[in-house]
Amino acid sequence: MRNHSESALRSARRLRREMSLPEVLLWRSLRDRPMDVKFRRQHPLGDYVVDFFCSAARLIVEIDGIAHDMGQRPLSDHRRDRALMDAGFRVVRIPAADVLRNADEVADSLVRLCLASPPPSGAAHLPPPPMGEDL
């Protein structure tokens, strides 16, 4: 999977300005690199923008609000997850309600997941983000 498309980069920049409350709360817990684990927020990968990304663990974190349970969204999310997993990433979906209940606990669980399990075998690491990006 290529690093990212131009449209994904534009979307990521917009989404960083428009993060949902659960995303903001989780970012507050992850932004200072707990236990030296770095996460990026609203990170472009290929044609997608993922809510949070830990490059070292090749872990994608998606925060799912109620909209993810409606209409074609579950099928769309499943296809997207499959494409990302096929590209060598792990995808974790967390209900927004869990983050609202205790963002620090969710962040701690994610950090432990990154530290406890190596990235998928044979997965190539991505190049660094574009210069000047606010991640």
Q: Domain boundaries in the chain?
A: 6-114
Contacts of 2 (CB under 8 A, 6+ apart): 46
Model pLDDT, residue 9: 82
pLDDT in tens, 27-45: 999 999 999 999 999 999 9
Specify which residues 90 forms β-bridges with: 59
d(C-alpha 129, C-alpha 19), whole Å:
19
Look at strands 59-64 and 90-95 and give their pairing: parallel
Model pLDDT, residue 68: 60
Architecture of domain 6-114: 3-Layer(aba) Sandwich (3.40)
E strand residue ranges, 31-111? 40-45, 48-54, 59-64, 90-95
pLDDT in tens, 55-70: 999 999 999 987 766 6
Cα-only R_g, the chain: 14
Model pLDDT, residue 120: 60
